Structure 1
Amino acid sequence: MLEIKENARGIIFKVFVQPRSSKNMIAGLHGDALKIKLKAPPVDGAANKMCIEYLAKCLNLPKSSLEILSGHASRTKRILVRFAGKNDASKTEAEQLTRSIAALTGT
Protein backbone atom coordinates (compact mmCIF):
# COMPACT_ATOMS: atom_id res chain seq x y z
CA MET A 1 0.00 0.00 0.00
CA LEU A 2 1.27 3.46 -0.89
CA GLU A 3 2.41 5.33 2.20
CA ILE A 4 1.36 8.99 2.09
CA LYS A 5 2.32 11.38 4.90
CA GLU A 6 1.32 14.95 5.59
CA ASN A 7 3.43 17.65 7.20
CA ALA A 8 3.21 21.44 7.47
CA ARG A 9 4.72 21.95 3.99
CA GLY A 10 2.73 19.39 2.03
CA ILE A 11 2.24 15.73 1.25
CA ILE A 12 5.17 13.29 1.14
CA PHE A 13 5.21 9.93 -0.63
CA LYS A 14 7.77 7.51 -2.05
CA VAL A 15 8.36 6.67 -5.69
CA PHE A 16 10.42 3.89 -7.21
CA VAL A 17 11.84 5.01 -10.56
CA GLN A 18 12.70 2.61 -13.37
CA PRO A 19 14.76 4.64 -15.86
CA ARG A 20 15.36 3.86 -19.55
CA SER A 21 11.87 2.48 -20.06
CA SER A 22 10.15 2.39 -23.45
CA LYS A 23 7.63 5.01 -22.28
CA ASN A 24 6.72 7.16 -19.29
CA MET A 25 4.04 5.49 -17.20
CA ILE A 26 2.77 4.70 -13.72
CA ALA A 27 3.39 0.98 -13.20
CA GLY A 28 1.52 0.38 -9.94
CA LEU A 29 3.24 -0.14 -6.62
CA HIS A 30 6.69 -1.32 -5.61
CA GLY A 31 6.39 -2.11 -1.90
CA ASP A 32 5.16 1.10 -0.25
CA ALA A 33 6.23 3.28 -3.21
CA LEU A 34 4.57 4.38 -6.44
CA LYS A 35 6.44 2.71 -9.33
CA ILE A 36 7.16 5.03 -12.25
CA LYS A 37 8.75 3.95 -15.52
CA LEU A 38 10.60 6.79 -17.26
CA LYS A 39 12.25 7.06 -20.68
CA ALA A 40 15.05 9.25 -19.32
CA PRO A 41 18.38 7.66 -18.39
CA PRO A 42 19.77 7.98 -14.85
CA VAL A 43 22.51 10.34 -16.04
CA ASP A 44 23.15 13.95 -14.98
CA GLY A 45 19.81 14.18 -13.15
CA ALA A 46 17.76 13.49 -16.29
CA ALA A 47 15.61 10.83 -14.61
CA ASN A 48 15.03 13.07 -11.57
CA LYS A 49 13.94 15.95 -13.79
CA MET A 50 11.64 13.67 -15.81
CA CYS A 51 10.22 12.23 -12.58
CA ILE A 52 9.15 15.69 -11.38
CA GLU A 53 7.82 16.68 -14.82
CA TYR A 54 5.83 13.46 -15.22
CA LEU A 55 4.35 13.54 -11.70
CA ALA A 56 3.38 17.20 -12.16
CA LYS A 57 1.60 16.28 -15.39
CA CYS A 58 -0.18 13.30 -13.78
CA LEU A 59 -1.30 15.36 -10.78
CA ASN A 60 -2.14 18.44 -12.87
CA LEU A 61 0.17 20.60 -10.76
CA PRO A 62 2.99 23.01 -11.62
CA LYS A 63 6.47 21.46 -11.55
CA SER A 64 7.47 24.03 -8.94
CA SER A 65 5.10 22.45 -6.41
CA LEU A 66 7.02 19.14 -6.43
CA GLU A 67 10.43 18.48 -4.93
CA ILE A 68 12.63 15.42 -4.43
CA LEU A 69 13.46 15.39 -0.71
CA SER A 70 15.75 12.38 -0.76
CA GLY A 71 17.01 9.73 -3.14
CA HIS A 72 18.59 11.94 -5.78
CA ALA A 73 21.07 9.16 -6.64
CA SER A 74 18.73 6.26 -5.88
CA ARG A 75 15.77 4.62 -7.57
CA THR A 76 13.69 5.12 -4.43
CA LYS A 77 12.86 8.77 -3.81
CA ARG A 78 10.77 10.76 -1.35
CA ILE A 79 8.64 13.37 -3.11
CA LEU A 80 7.14 16.46 -1.49
CA VAL A 81 4.02 17.96 -3.05
CA ARG A 82 3.81 21.45 -1.59
CA PHE A 83 0.52 22.94 -0.52
CA ALA A 84 -0.66 25.76 -2.79
CA GLY A 85 -1.14 28.36 -0.05
CA LYS A 86 1.66 30.11 1.80
CA ASN A 87 0.14 29.20 5.14
CA ASP A 88 -0.76 25.74 6.35
CA ALA A 89 -3.13 24.05 3.95
CA SER A 90 -6.73 23.48 4.67
CA LYS A 91 -7.79 19.97 5.51
CA THR A 92 -9.64 19.89 2.19
CA GLU A 93 -6.48 20.61 0.17
CA ALA A 94 -4.55 17.91 2.02
CA GLU A 95 -7.32 15.37 1.46
CA GLN A 96 -7.60 16.28 -2.21
CA LEU A 97 -3.83 15.90 -2.79
CA THR A 98 -3.83 12.59 -0.92
CA ARG A 99 -6.71 11.28 -3.06
CA SER A 100 -5.00 12.43 -6.27
CA ILE A 101 -1.75 10.69 -5.35
CA ALA A 102 -3.53 7.51 -4.26
CA ALA A 103 -5.52 7.50 -7.53
CA LEU A 104 -2.27 7.19 -9.49
CA THR A 105 -1.92 3.63 -8.21
CA GLY A 106 -5.28 2.68 -9.69
CA THR A 107 -6.72 1.73 -6.31
Structure 2
Amino acid sequence: MSSEHGSGWFRAIDDGIELAVRLTPKAARDAVEGVKIAADGKAHLAARVRAVPEDGKANKALELLVAKSLGVPKSAVSVVAGHTSRLKTVLVASTGRERDALARKVAGLA
Protein backbone atom coordinates (compact mmCIF):
# COMPACT_ATOMS: atom_id res chain seq x y z
CA MET A 1 0.00 0.00 0.00
CA SER A 2 1.47 3.32 -1.07
CA SER A 3 0.17 6.78 -0.26
CA GLU A 4 1.39 10.30 -0.96
CA HIS A 5 1.95 12.82 1.81
CA GLY A 6 2.64 16.53 1.87
CA SER A 7 3.79 18.01 -1.39
CA GLY A 8 5.27 14.78 -2.70
CA TRP A 9 8.70 14.90 -1.06
CA PHE A 10 7.92 11.81 1.02
CA ARG A 11 5.61 8.85 0.74
CA ALA A 12 4.60 5.84 2.77
CA ILE A 13 5.36 2.49 1.18
CA ASP A 14 5.11 -1.07 2.51
CA ASP A 15 8.69 -1.02 3.84
CA GLY A 16 8.54 2.42 5.48
CA ILE A 17 8.83 6.02 4.31
CA GLU A 18 10.72 7.17 1.21
CA LEU A 19 12.14 10.69 1.23
CA ALA A 20 13.29 12.78 -1.72
CA VAL A 21 16.48 14.51 -0.55
CA ARG A 22 18.86 16.98 -2.17
CA LEU A 23 22.23 16.59 -0.48
CA THR A 24 25.00 19.17 -0.36
CA PRO A 25 28.30 17.51 0.67
CA LYS A 26 31.41 19.30 1.99
CA ALA A 27 29.26 21.78 3.93
CA ALA A 28 30.33 23.73 7.02
CA ARG A 29 27.93 21.71 9.20
CA ASP A 30 25.52 18.77 9.14
CA ALA A 31 21.93 20.03 8.94
CA VAL A 32 18.45 19.37 7.64
CA GLU A 33 17.26 22.64 6.10
CA GLY A 34 13.61 21.93 5.46
CA VAL A 35 11.68 21.39 2.25
CA LYS A 36 12.69 23.28 -0.89
CA ILE A 37 11.16 23.44 -4.35
CA ALA A 38 13.49 22.74 -7.29
CA ALA A 39 13.37 24.58 -10.61
CA ASP A 40 11.29 21.72 -12.05
CA GLY A 41 8.66 22.31 -9.35
CA LYS A 42 9.39 19.12 -7.40
CA ALA A 43 9.76 19.29 -3.63
CA HIS A 44 12.66 17.72 -1.74
CA LEU A 45 14.17 17.78 1.72
CA ALA A 46 17.37 19.84 1.68
CA ALA A 47 20.26 18.46 3.73
CA ARG A 48 23.92 19.35 4.19
CA VAL A 49 26.75 17.19 5.49
CA ARG A 50 30.42 17.89 6.18
CA ALA A 51 31.50 14.60 4.61
CA VAL A 52 33.04 14.47 1.15
CA PRO A 53 31.26 12.70 -1.71
CA GLU A 54 33.86 9.93 -1.96
CA ASP A 55 33.49 6.22 -1.24
CA GLY A 56 29.92 6.70 0.01
CA LYS A 57 31.01 8.94 2.92
CA ALA A 58 28.42 11.66 2.20
CA ASN A 59 25.66 9.05 1.85
CA LYS A 60 26.59 7.49 5.20
CA ALA A 61 26.63 10.94 6.81
CA LEU A 62 23.18 11.64 5.33
CA GLU A 63 21.83 8.36 6.71
CA LEU A 64 23.13 9.25 10.17
CA LEU A 65 21.73 12.79 9.95
CA VAL A 66 18.27 11.56 8.96
CA ALA A 67 18.32 8.91 11.71
CA LYS A 68 19.24 11.47 14.37
CA SER A 69 16.68 13.98 13.06
CA LEU A 70 13.88 11.40 13.25
CA GLY A 71 15.02 9.60 16.40
CA VAL A 72 15.32 6.22 14.68
CA PRO A 73 18.22 3.73 14.64
CA LYS A 74 20.79 4.45 11.93
CA SER A 75 20.26 0.89 10.69
CA ALA A 76 16.68 1.89 9.72
CA VAL A 77 17.88 4.54 7.23
CA SER A 78 19.42 3.86 3.83
CA VAL A 79 20.04 5.66 0.56
CA VAL A 80 18.20 3.49 -1.98
CA ALA A 81 18.61 5.59 -5.15
CA GLY A 82 20.85 8.40 -6.35
CA HIS A 83 24.04 7.10 -4.75
CA THR A 84 26.23 9.33 -6.95
CA SER A 85 23.75 12.17 -7.43
CA ARG A 86 22.81 15.14 -5.24
CA LEU A 87 19.16 14.07 -5.57
CA LYS A 88 18.62 10.91 -3.55
CA THR A 89 15.85 8.64 -2.38
CA VAL A 90 16.24 7.69 1.26
CA LEU A 91 14.25 4.86 2.85
CA VAL A 92 13.40 4.96 6.54
CA ALA A 93 12.30 1.42 7.36
CA SER A 94 9.12 1.06 9.41
CA THR A 95 5.81 -0.80 9.36
CA GLY A 96 2.23 -0.52 10.60
CA ARG A 97 1.50 1.97 13.37
CA GLU A 98 5.19 2.82 13.61
CA ARG A 99 5.05 3.99 9.99
CA ASP A 100 2.15 6.34 10.75
CA ALA A 101 4.03 7.88 13.69
CA LEU A 102 7.16 8.11 11.55
CA ALA A 103 5.22 9.93 8.80
CA ARG A 104 4.24 12.58 11.36
CA LYS A 105 7.90 12.98 12.41
CA VAL A 106 8.98 13.24 8.78
CA ALA A 107 6.36 15.92 8.09
CA GLY A 108 7.84 17.85 11.01
CA LEU A 109 11.18 18.14 9.18
CA ALA A 110 9.58 20.51 6.68
Aligned residues: 99
Return the match for 1:93 from 84, 93, 98.
Answer: 98
1:24 equivalent in structure 2: 30
Q: Following TM superposition, where does structure 1 have runs of at least 4 consecutive aligned residues deviating by more than 4 angstroms?
A: none
State the 1:57 CA deviation. 0.8
TM-score, scaled relative to structure 1: 0.85
State the 1:2 CA deviation. 5.0
State the 1:30 CA deviation. 2.8
Residue correspondence of structure 1 range 38-57 to structure 2 within 5 A:
38-57=49-68
Work out the percentage of aligned pairs sharing the same amino acid. 31
Structure 1: tracts of 5 or more residues without a match: 84-88
TM-score, scaled relative to structure 2: 0.83
CA deviation map 1:6-46 (0-9, x unaligned): 11111111110011111011112232110001111111111
- RMSD over aligned CA atoms reads 1.2
Structure 2: tracts of 5 or more residues without a match: 1-6, 38-42
1:86 equivalent in structure 2: none
